[in-house]
A and B are shown apart, each in its own frame.
Chain A
Amino acid sequence: MAMRREVYIVGSGGQGVVLMGALLAEAYALKNWNVVQTVVYDAAQRGGLARAEVVMSDSEIYYPKVRKADVIVAFAADALPGARPKMDEHTVILADESLKDKNLEQYGTKLLFVPFERWAKEELHSSRVMNMVALGRVLKTLGDVSIDEVEQALKERFKGDLFKLNMAAVKIGLEASEF
């Protein structure tokens, strides 16, 4: 049976949705998996919907978008109703804790609120790396990629302090115990 992982990331423009998807794909590609990332975003650069879909498989990927999500990452709730056909009872929604009052229970999936933004702000003084905290948390949920492999993927994109900041954020997500 072919292994296939499908991750669906939604947020607003400027929250790093596309970059997070790209890094997830790159981490799996380093393991010699086939990966495809596609994106949907509004014409505005900041604000408006942003969505990345990442499919990773050990065999050929024809349909490049998510069919049934293993994990949905939500930084914003607006786009979730449209994602309903991509969810089933096995789907894990990892939502930022700021969405607690958005009635995400209605989707009937496994649901976990994680303080992506608060952790990024409190521990690294930069809410901009909330996407990397989320990346760490997704990798932890999927359990295929080691910390060394994600570090390698980050090194190919970031240099110096930028690498350190992003890697620290990924570690927060990866190493966080359940809460």
Chain B
Amino acid sequence: MNRIVMGDVACAMGAIDAGLRFYAGYPITPSSEIAETLSEMLPKHQGIYLQMEDEIGSIMAVIGASYAGFPAMTATSGPGFSLMQEAIGYAAMAEIPITIVNVMRAGPSTGLATQIGEGDLMQAIWGTHGDHPVAVFSPGNVREFYIYTQKALYWAEKLRMPTIVLADEVVGHMRQNVDFPEPIVIPERTLPNVPPEKYLPYATENGDVMPLPPLGKGYTWHVTGSAHTENGFPTIRPDKVKELLDRLNTKVQRHRNELIEYETFMLEDAETLVISFASMGRVSKGVVSELREQGYKVGLIRPFTMWPFFKDELSNIVSNVHPKKIVVPEINYGQLRLLVEWALKGFDIPVIGVNLVNGDLIPPEMIEEAILHG
């Protein structure tokens, strides 16, 4: 059915359709409509909605609910996302599946409370301290917000780690007509094939961490943010610590091919390659489409998975297409450009940033100027 839906509402609908059972949050523009919608929908879908006293309480409640067996998420924006960083690391270390939706506004600090920014990319990937696994997805329109909220919830459960959806104010507040695809459903927790007394919550199974059993079926275990052995109790034994951290930090790479998603548009014979994410990906696609109509050789890549970064794929595309330059429009001072430069460090191709942070989308004319004369 074709209907008009706001981005934040699509995120909430996606979560419900995926099987979300618990949301705790503290409202903040431009993410508040996610909380508002879930406060109405969750109780009608055997779920629990909880408004907490702040963002730290919110993410801790989400971790607790997930530990208890409820697929759980929270949503916030920059200032709240900063507050949640420590707990993201806890979820990564304790291997509790959680999803955090960050509808980006312009920062730093309170910044522009109601207006767009795309400056949380690096924080989403590297925000919590210590090396840790995380997957970051970024939608560029209402339909994609529905889809990538579901994928984030799916992968959090599958890999027992935090996943992040990085939308922005325009994606969150935009209303547009949309036709939703079949939902991606969060995998159900299953009983381990060993009795409770033999269960090791941090052992590996087929290379991945053990699936979490549902709580209340006799399986209990110790949970800690400290380094621990397979049974969950703290350890400082170097070999055990190494084993744990090696396993945590190869989680994402082991599944990179399934996690990485991006869209390519008019790449053939492109002399200029535009790479852009979130709302600016959508705007850039329009610019590329218009310039192609005028005969300019320009193509576009819109990454949906920001981490793991599509390093090898980008490198292959550039080897095949041979662009003369790369243009990266983003509403920050060059965070995606840094990742692109890292991915293409072996190539001698200029990477030109189109950067403007003033509360609005970057105008198409600025991108066009960089493509034609940058």
With a CB–CB cut-off of 8 A, which chain B residues contact A79? none
Interface residues contributed by chain B, number (CB under 8 Å): 24
- B175's contact among A22, A41, A62, A67, by CB below 8 Å, is which? A22
Q: Which of B2, B114, B170 is packed against the most chain A CB atoms within 10 Å?
A: B114
Query: Is A29 in contact with B285, judged by CB distance below 8 angstroms?
Result: no
Q: What does the 1/0 interface line of B152-187 toward A look like (CB < 8 Å)?
A: 000000000000000000100111110000000000
Task: Decide if B115 is an interface residue (CB 8 Å cutoff).
Answer: yes
A25 to B175, CA, bound (A): 8
Interface pick from A32-40, A115-123, A126-134, A163-171: A32-40
Considering the complex, give the chain B residue whose CB is closest to the CB of A48. B114
How far, in Å, is B356 (CB) from chain A's closest CB?
A: 14
The yes or no answer to A144 lying at the interface (CB within 8 A) is: no
A55 to B286, CA, bound (A): 14
**Majority SS of interface residues in chain B?**
mixed
- From the candidates A25, A63, A64, name the one contacting B4 in the complex (CB within 8 A): A25
Which A residues form the contact surface with B (CB < 8 A)? 22, 25-26, 29, 32, 34-43, 61-65, 67
B175 near A37 with CB under 8 A, answer yes
Cα A38 to Cα B8 with chains together (Å): 12
**Are A38 and B285 interface neighbours, CB within 8 A?**
no
Q: Which of B282, B287, B289, B359 has the most CB of A within 10 A?
A: B282
A63/B174 contact (C-beta < 8 A), A25-B4, A26-B4, A29-B2 known: no
CB of A37 within 8 A of CB of B176, answer: yes
Given known A-B contacts A25-B4, A42-B114, A43-B29, A36 and B283 have beta carbons under 8 A apart: no
Hey, what's the 0/1 contact readout for B30-44 against A, CB within 8 Å counting as 1? 000000000000000
Across the interface, B174 reaches (CB within 8 A) one of A29, A36, A41, namely A36
Q: How far is the CA of A42 from the CA of B114 in the complex (A)?
A: 7
| Nearest A residue to B170, CB-CB | A38
Q: Is B232 an interface residue (CB 8 A)?
A: no
* A34-B2 Cα distance, complex, nearest whole Å: 10
On whether the beta carbons of B364 and A63 are closer than 8 Å, the reply is yes
CB distance from B360 to the nearest CB of A (A): 8
A61-B176, A62-B282 known, 6 other contacts, Cβ within 8 Å: A36-B174, A36-B176, A38-B174, A43-B114, A64-B170, A64-B279
A171 to B115, CA, bound (A): 34
User: Measured between C-beta atoms, what is the minimum distance from B203 to chain A in Å?
Assistant: 48
The answer to whether the Cβ of B56 comes within 8 Å of any Cβ in the partner chain is no
Given contacts A29-B2, A42-B114, A62-B282, whether A36 and B361 have CB atoms under 8 Å apart is no
If A43-B113, A62-B289 touch, does A35 touch B176 (CB 8 Å cutoff)?
yes
Most chain A Cβ neighbours within 10 Å, of B174, B283, B285: B174
How far in angstroms is the closest Cβ of chain A from B121?
Answer: 20
CB distance from B299 to the nearest CB of A (A): 15
Also in contact, A67 and B174, with CB within 8 A (given A25-B4, A32-B2):
no
Residues of B within 8 A of A25 (CB): 4, 175-176
Cβ distance A33 to chain B, nearest Cβ, rounded Å: 8
Contact B4 A41 (CB under 8 A): no
Q: Which residues of B contact A35 (CB under 8 A)?
A: 4, 175-177
B374: shortest Cβ distance to chain A, in Å?
A: 19
Q: Given A41-B114, A67-B364: A62 and B283 within 8 A (CB)? A: yes
Given A26-B4, A32-B2, A41-B114: A64 and B289 interface contact (C-beta under 8 Å): no
Chain A residues, CB < 8 A from B113 = 43
Question: B4 touching A29 by the CB < 8 A rule?
Answer: yes
Q: Are A29 and B114 in contact (CB under 8 A)?
A: no
Most buried by B among A40, A61, A67: A40
Q: Which residue of B lies closest to A26 (CB)?
A: B4
Shortest C-beta distance, A10 to chain B (Å), equals 14
Given the complex, which residues of A lie within 8 Å of B286, measured CB to CB? 61-63
A39 CA to B6 CA in the complex, in Å?
A: 11
